[in-house]
Chain A
Amino acid sequence: MQLFLDGIFLGSIYALFAIGFTLVFGILDRLNLAHAAVFTAGALVGIEIVTRFGVPIWLLIPIVLVFGAVLGILIERIAFRPLAGRHDAHFAGLISSIAFGAILLSLLQALYGADTRRFPADAFPSTRVEIFGATVSLLQVIILIISVSLMVVLTWLVAKSKLGRGMRTIAENPHAASVLGLNVGRISSTTFALSSALGAVAGVLFTLNVNAASLGIGNAVELKALAVIVVGGMGSLPGALVGGLILGVTEVLAVNYIGSSWRDMVAFGLLFLILILRPQGLFGARKTREV
């Protein structure tokens, strides 16, 4: 049970990060590889804010959400919008987002150096709680609550709000969306903003979980998140959630029973398994649009 819960906590963070990826991919058919740098930025900037201003968690999260959203808008404007209409837009988008991510990471390096940073020791409560016979920290519970609520809000937004309808229209048929008079540019920006906001918060939560953040954390998680979205189904929000949780739990179990050095293999093993057995992922539909 302890392992299971640990896995859920870890998995919810993976899910939160992956959902940002899959949102942009599902709506706009683009893979944003700067997402990893946003994750790292969220973590490092979050640490900075808490260290400088001693801000409590409930205030930190909204601040980081806004910060992430701004990054998302910048990514869309700089790395993706100039490519619209180019025949190699998918491919070029990968490269341009990689470039943007690299620039962002090096700026972070300039500001914070390459060393590992941590939240100040007394910044957050360290109480531990007992659930179903397992011990978890209050922090972990809070992380889970934040992750899940953000994902629920996002899902509601996409399913019920006017913005969400616009996003789903663009996802299904971008041309029809323009014809109908939807402001495709603005909706795209907003999609990126949402995605990066969640990605940045995922970075903060991840750092809270392990209390260590450095420049490389984004890359480490990014590849696993890619595996998660393929397993869950590219473009599927519930897929990212379920995929993330599955990954978290399986990883923790694997570390316990097989050994920590093989931990990262779990994600890729799952990835290949899904690609061979059910390429559209658990929740994915066979997209007619060729990527």
Chain B
Amino acid sequence: MSDPILKVEGLQVNYGRVEAVRNVSFEVPEGALVTLVGANGAGKTSVLNAVSGLLRPRQGVITFEGNDITKWPAHRLVKAGLVQVPEGREILGTLTVAENLSLGGWHRSNSTLHAKVAEVYERFPVLFERRKLHAGALSGGEQQMLSIARALIADPKVLLLDEPSMGLAPKIVDEVFAVIEEIRLTGTTVVLVEQNARRALAAADYGYVLETGEVSHSGPAHELLADEKVIEAYLGLD
């Protein structure tokens, strides 16, 4: 088995003196879809932010393509191909859809940018239709698509998604997950953080369950899905 494209070992993240992430380790094989699930406040977003270079971890080592990226700042990581689709979408409401997309290509040359944008419009025709609209006018689902599309412009090797289903109607969540699956099929590695554990585990290859800052269960996703303890704790009616 080849080395995982992304590896996290012994991650500890603090907010002030609060330990949000205690000792998290996980591996992401290239081309796989790995999901981190758990309740609110379990530390999932903190893990993702540490991996993306938005937070400095207290301790731990993060490796990407064999390089130690623990101390790399976010802008360097995006350039290297590690891109996040943040929680709450964080699109720029006062800019148009097209301008938002072009921001995704901040590190790309103009020509590459045009090519990627064309690709993205093909995959997301609704964004092409709305390209001149202000992003703030889009619906929740469309904004999520925009956020994902924007990340794709950066041509990521690893795509990190933080709660893409949040606040979306069930039908739209289906569409989002369909897009995620497509992305995966093109060979991009995906790390998915989700509160909707059932959907995430159904889509993923491997899963890690986070509970108050630590990994409590891990393994192939379909095994976790069938695991009694996991169901009881997390699946309930959510």
Within 8 Å by CB, do A and B touch in the complex? yes
Residues of A within 8 A of B (CB): 165-166, 168-169, 172-173, 175-176, 178-185
Given contacts A165-B103, A169-B92, A184-B75, contact A179 B154 (CB under 8 A): no
> CA A151 – CA B52 in complex, angstroms?
37
Given contacts A173-B90, A175-B86, A175-B90, contact A180 B104 (CB under 8 A): yes
Asked if A179 and B74 make an inter-chain contact with CB atoms under 8 angstroms apart, the answer reads yes
> CA A176 – CA B103 in complex, angstroms?
10
Shortest distance from the beta carbon of A231 to any chain B beta carbon, whole Å: 23
User: Which single residue of chain A is at the shortest CB-CB distance from B150?
Assistant: A180
Stretch at the interface among B4-12, B76-84, B117-125, B225-233: B76-84
- Per a CB cutoff under 8 Å, which of A166, A176, A181, A185 touches B77? A181
Asked if B54 and A181 make an inter-chain contact with CB atoms under 8 angstroms apart, the answer reads no
- Per a CB cutoff under 8 Å, which of A173, A181, A183, A184 touches B92? A173
- Per a CB cutoff under 8 Å, which of B52, B94, B99 touches A179? B52
Question: Across chains A and B, which 7 residue pairs bring their CB atoms closest together, nearest first?
Answer: A181-B78, A176-B90, A183-B75, A181-B75, A178-B74, A179-B86, A172-B92
Asked if A166 and B106 make an inter-chain contact with CB atoms under 8 angstroms apart, the answer reads yes
User: Which single residue of chain A is at the shortest CB-CB distance from B153?
Assistant: A180
> CA A165 – CA B96 in complex, angstroms?
12
Contacts of B84 in A (CB 8 A): 179
B159 within 8 Å of A by Cβ? no
Shortest distance from the beta carbon of B97 to any chain A beta carbon, whole Å: 15
Contacts of B154 in A (CB 8 A): 180-181
Given contact pairs A175-B54, A180-B103, A180-B106, enumerate 12 new A-B contacts (beta carbons under 8 Å).
A166-B106, A169-B92, A169-B95, A169-B103, A172-B95, A175-B90, A176-B92, A179-B54, A181-B78, A181-B106, A181-B154, A183-B75
Shortest distance from the beta carbon of A131 to any chain B beta carbon, whole Å: 40
> CA A215 – CA B136 in complex, angstroms?
48
Contacts of A176 in B (CB 8 A): 86, 90-92
Contacts of B104 in A (CB 8 A): 180
Query: Would you mind naming 23 contact pairs between A and B with Cβ atoms under 8 Å apart?
Result: A165-B99, A165-B103, A169-B95, A172-B92, A172-B93, A172-B95, A173-B90, A175-B54, A176-B86, A176-B90, A176-B91, A176-B92, A178-B54, A179-B52, A179-B84, A179-B86, A179-B90, A180-B104, A180-B106, A180-B150, A180-B154, A183-B73, A183-B75
B107 within 8 Å of A by Cβ? yes
- Per a CB cutoff under 8 Å, which of A165, A168, A181 touches B79? A181
Shortest distance from the beta carbon of B35 to any chain A beta carbon, whole Å: 20
> CA A180 – CA B105 in complex, angstroms?
8
Shortest distance from the beta carbon of B153 to any chain A beta carbon, whole Å: 10
Contacts of B150 in A (CB 8 A): 180
Contacts of A184 in B (CB 8 A): 75
Contacts of A180 in B (CB 8 A): 78, 103-104, 106, 150, 154
Contacts of A169 in B (CB 8 A): 92, 95, 103
Asked if B75 and A182 make an inter-chain contact with CB atoms under 8 angstroms apart, the answer reads yes
* B46-82 interface bits toward A, Cβ cutoff 8 Å, 1 = contact, 0 = none: 0000001010000000000000000001110111000
User: Which single residue of chain A is at the shortest CB-CB distance from B160?
Assistant: A179
- Interface residues in B121-162 (C-beta closer than 8 Å to A): 150, 154
User: Which single residue of chain B is at the shortest CB-CB distance from A187?
Assistant: B75
> CA A172 – CA B92 in complex, angstroms?
7
Shortest distance from the beta carbon of B226 to any chain A beta carbon, whole Å: 35
> CA A168 – CA B106 in complex, angstroms?
13
Shortest distance from the beta carbon of A134 to any chain B beta carbon, whole Å: 42
Contacts of A183 in B (CB 8 A): 73, 75
User: Which single residue of chain B is at the shortest CB-CB distance from A162?
Assistant: B106
Which one of B54, B75, B84, B104 has the highest number of Cβ atoms from chain A below 10 Å of its Cβ?
Answer: B75
> CA A140 – CA B37 in complex, angstroms?
67
Contacts of A182 in B (CB 8 A): 75, 106
